[in-house]
Amino acid sequence: MKNHPLIKQSILEVQKSDRNIAIAKGNLLPSVNAGINHNYSFGSTIDPSTNSRKTLNTQYDQFSISTPVELFNWKNYGEISLSKLNKESSEYRLKSAQNDISLNVIQQFFQYQYDKAWLEVLQTQISGIEEQIKRTEKEVEIGNRPKSDIYDIKANLGTIKEQWISAQNQKELSKNNLQNAISLLDDKIDFILSEENPENILFNNEDFVQKLLDKNPLYQNAIKLNEIAKKSIELAKSDYYPRLSGMYQWSTFFSKELGAQPANQFSEQFKQNKNNYVSFGLDFPIFNRFQTKNRIELAKLSAENTSLEKDKVVLELTNNLKTIEIQYRNAQEKYRALEENFENQKLSFQKSEEKYKEGMMDAYTFFMVRNSWLQANYNLIKSRYDLMLQSELVKVYLKD
E-strand stretches of 115-189: none
First to last CA, the chain: 16
What DSSP element (H or E) covers 272? Answer: helix 266-272
pTM equals: 0.78
pLDDT of residue 48: 64
Query: 162: which residues sit within 8 A by CB, 6+ positions away?
Result: none
What pLDDT score was predicted for residue 178? Answer: 92
Q: Is the model's pLDDT at 143 over the cut of 80?
A: no
Q: How confident is the model at residue 198 (pLDDT cuts 50, 70, 90)?
A: low
For residue 146, the SS3 value is coil
How high is the pLDDT of residue 15? 95
pLDDT over 70 (residue 229): yes
Q: Which residue has the higher pLDDT, 363 or 286?
A: 286
pLDDT exceeds 70 at position 51: yes
328-380, pLDDT tens digit by residue? 888 888 888 888 888 888 888 888 878 877 778 777 777 778 778 878 888 88
Count CB atoms within 10 A of the CB of residue 106: 19
pLDDT average, residue stretch 176-189: 84
Q: Residues 285-303: what's their mean pLDDT?
A: 92
> DSSP letters along 297-338, please?
HHHHHHHHHHHHHHHHHHHHHHHHHHHHHHHHHHHHHHHHHH
- pLDDT of 62 over the 90 cut: yes
Residue 204 confidence (pLDDT): 59
User: What is the per-residue pLDDT for 202?
Assistant: 61
